[in-house]
Amino acid sequence: MSRNILVTGGAGYIGSHTVLQLLLGGYKAVVVDNLDNSSETSINRVRELAGKHGSNLIFHQMDLRDKPALEKLFASQTFDAVIHFAGLKAVGEKVMAAHGCKKLVFSSSATVYGWPKVVPCTEEFPICAMNPYGQTKLFIEEMCRDIYKSDSEWKIILLRYFNPVGAHSSGYIGEDPRGIPNNLMPFVQQVAVGRRPELTVFGTDYGTKDGTGVRDYIHVVDLADGHIAALSKLSDPSIGCEVYNLGTGKGTSVLEMVAAFEKASGKEIPIVKAGRRPGDAEIVYASTEKAERELNWKAKYGIDEMCQDQWNWASKNPYGYGSPEPTK
Ligand code: UDP
């Protein structure tokens, strides 16, 4: 029987790509999402993209803070593991334990490395919070370590994402942030489709090759595959609570990323240079050794493919899931 995975926040950007890879990998996926920051359209499109596997996807619009609903869901079936993408709140680990499900993959972030003194960042680096978002990641990571300490039957993998960008190559699912995008590539994408006049480059005086911030951009499909690798690792009897970086190990500056996107899209991205954004680090990229060695996973795509796929999604869906249905 195929394994049944509960995916919280599975309608979102990273969640939807991961659910697709799960289905294609022969898993069953039960998605719970309150659709606060996502759209059911992404679920429907994932189902379509999964073809004959589409029927292995079940969606429940539900808030994870609704404990009776969560209880009912766990009582109705057995989950082999939970992948937790949903926003701030931790999934009820007491509900999981009560139903004998003690395998969890949690989305953490490279933001916990703060402003690293050296790069690449290894999983052993000290961690800190530079902002409220980082605080929640730090807090839930600590909680996971405590859960494991108090009950060693738990198997928990914390995945520290670097900078996920791009979209599925179909251009049918992708990132659709509400409001003004905070992150670089969603903003660039909106400039390219004419929704915003220009990109503001935050900081041109960093000690980097061209003065702009350097990050480790990773294709969202590679990131999704990292979750499948983590799920397999949860079956390893030796695993307790482990953390893995999901990055490419390569650093790219803001201007390099903009140039790659201009090349992929054939659009000019006007820029305005501005001061540094408070709380931003100068250079962050991953050491990928641990994930390669222990998860047997390595990112396949480079920034050209990331930008091509991002543009394919953007040009077909200039207003995200609110756009008219694209032709495939
Ligand atoms: N950035 C920028 N303009 C924007 C958004 C981001 O210049 O409108 C820069 C930011 O300063 C950083 C890089 O792009 O150097 C990546 O920022 P993002 O917010 O995407 O990721 P994070 O800083 O969380 O790694």
pLDDT digits (tens, 9 = 90+) for 143-171: 999 999 999 999 999 999 999 999 999 99
Gap from CA of 184 to ligand 1 centroid (Å): 5
Does the beta carbon of 187 sit less than 6 angstroms from any atom of ligand 1?
yes
Radius of gyration, alpha carbons of the chain? 19
Averaged pLDDT for residues 57-75: 95
Q: Catalytic one among 27, 113, 133, 217?
A: 133
* 122: nearest Cα among 289, 268, 3: 289
Does the beta carbon of 273 sit less than 6 angstroms from any atom of ligand 1?
no
Report the 10 Å Cβ neighbour count for 218. Answer: 28
Q: Give the whole-angstrom CA distance, residue 62 versus residue 70.
A: 8
pLDDT of residue 14: 97
Averaged pLDDT for residues 182-200: 97
At 317, the amino acid letter reads N
Averaged pLDDT for residues 121-144: 94
Q: Give the whole-angstrom CA distance, residue 86 versus residue 50.
A: 22
Paired residues of 57 in beta bridges: 29
pLDDT of residue 173: 98
Averaged pLDDT for residues 308-319: 97
Mean model confidence pLDDT for the chain: 96
pLDDT of residue 325: 77
pLDDT of residue 324: 80
Task: From 199, 215, 283, give the residue whose CB has the most ligand 1 atoms within 8 Å, as the site to mutate.
Answer: 215
Length of the chain counted residue by residue: 328
**What does the block give as tokens for 308?**
């091509």
pLDDT in tens, 68-122: 999 999 999 999 999 999 876 666 899 999 999 999 999 999 999 999 999 999 9
CA 190 to chain CA centroid, Å, is: 20
* 30: nearest Cα among 60, 75, 53: 60
pLDDT of residue 90: 64
3 state DSSP class of 4 = strand
Paired residues of 6 in beta bridges: 30, 82
301 is catalytic: no
Q: Is the pLDDT of residue 326 over 90?
A: no
Residue with tokens 């992150």: 183
Q: Give the whole-angstrom CA distance, residue 178 versus residue 176.
A: 7
